[in-house]
Every structure is written in structure tokens, then in C-alpha cells.
Amino acid sequence: MTIVRNGDVVQLHYTTYAADGCVIETSGLRDPLEFQVGSPEVIAGINRAVVGMRQGERRRIAVSPEHAFGFRDPRLLQVAPRLGFLEKADDGDQLTANVRGTELDIWVRSLSGDEITLDANHPLAGESMVYEIEVVGVVPRAA
């Protein structure tokens, strides 16, 4: 059986748990996640964990914030006048902003009167998580 190496294309089923054990997301009822090992398509903790695994192998791994979605950056939290934002914006909504030609995902953290609090941190930034992963397919990188 093929051992996963950097550069291989891997198909992976996973379940993501918060530190308190609550399920955040699972791929169990859909197609597996497919990515090239070592690419920025997935978090560093997953990239590192699959190297050396074999098809059919399962692991449970703990991933710290620096190997997941990073630490929260307070500079990415901004309070702005609500004027100009969607009238129907609500707490938790995801928006896309164009900042100097770069598209950026931002989340509405709160609405208060004439102000809106926006956060460009990933919603899971600063969180440690646990992943259950299973390699269900491996396509070795081209030689």
C-alpha cells in the first residue's frame, strides 16, 4: 500500500471537534476532501498528519492554533459606521470585502445602533481543535 508523501494527492474523510468535544464539521455524508499534500489548501496540522499514513488508516490528532487557523489578530477587528452595509446584515453573516485588490472574507460580529463590528479573523482563529482523519485515497505525485 502506498505511503502518503509530500506532493501526493490525498482523499480524506475527517471530523473536526472543538476543544470541548463538540463536532464542528464532518465530511462523512459527502465526498471526501481532496488536496495535494503540502499545499495551502488545508491547514498545516492536516498536511503534517497525513504524511506517512496509508490508505485506510485513521488517526485522531490535536491541532494547536498555529497549525490550524492561526491566532486571533485584534487589528482585524474593526468597528465601522453601519451606513453603506447591507440593511439585512446580521450577527454571524459572512461578507466579502475588496481591500486593495484582494478579496477578504469578513464576518459581522455585532450590530449596535449605527455601528457594525467586522472581523477578518477566521472564525476558528485562536482555537485548538481535534481532528479524526481517514485516508481513503492516495494518488502518488508524478515522478
Q: What are the tens digits of pLDDT across the range 66-117? A: 999 999 999 999 888 877 666 677 787 888 877 788 888 889 888 888 888 8
- Where in the chain do CATH 2.40.10.330 domains reside? 74-119
Rounded to an integer, the average pLDDT of 8-20 is 94
Percent pLDDT > 70 in the chain is: 96
Candidates 16, 34, 20; CA nearest to 139 is 34
Cell of 102: 484582494
Query: CA torsion, points 51, 53, 55, 56, in degrees to nearest 10?
Result: -140
Positive or negative torsion for Cα 30, 129, 124, 65: negative
Mean per-residue pLDDT over the chain, rounded: 90
Residue range(s) occupied by CATH 3.10.50.40 in the chain: 9-70+124-139
Query: What is the third-level CATH fold of 9-70+124-139?
Result: Chitinase A; domain 3 (3.10.50)
Residues in the chain: 143
Is domain 74-119 given the CATH code 2.40.10.330 in the classification? yes
